[in-house]
Amino acid sequence: MLVRQCLHKAPVTVPPECTIEEAARTMGGHGVGSLLVVSGGALLGIVTDRDIAVRAVGAGKSLGSPIRDVMTEHLLTIQGSADIFETFTIFKDTQVRRLPVLEDEDLAGIITLDDLLISLVLELGALVSPVARELHPEMR
């Protein structure tokens, strides 16, 4: 399975001058825990709900401060054409939980540890279903 097959929706992006408050509202409105920070089509960073809690509010920053003040720069990324097991390795070795996904140089989305696990459970379910129905006819 390829990384691009695990992407379910478009990434939610904000410009670096977006305020911390606007970013928090955007996360809530889209039901996401992170935003990709983009300017002129270039990926500059990522900001997570934890960044807002710890680096912004916890550090006493004004909610009107720009998100660039608390975002993480120098991101690890992965290509959509990569195998998901490469993603597992990156998650395991780096302790990150989110990776921006690129198609060549273009931003295609973001894959989270949760997305990856859900995709794998669905794939395993599809694989096991015929066997389960054979072993347990009442499941038909």
pLDDT of residue 90: 94
Contacts of 116 (CB under 8 A, 6+ apart): 6, 84, 87, 88, 91
Q: What sections of the chain are H helices per DSSP?
A: 20-30, 49-51, 84-94, 113-135
What's the whole-model pTM score?
0.83
The residues with which 79 forms a beta bridge, in sequence order, are: 102
What kind of architecture, by CATH, is found in domain 3-139? Roll (3.10)
Phi/psi at 113 (nearest 5 deg)?
-60, -40
Kindly tell me if the per-residue pLDDT of 102 is higher than 80: yes
Kindly tell me if the per-residue pLDDT of 118 is higher than 90: no
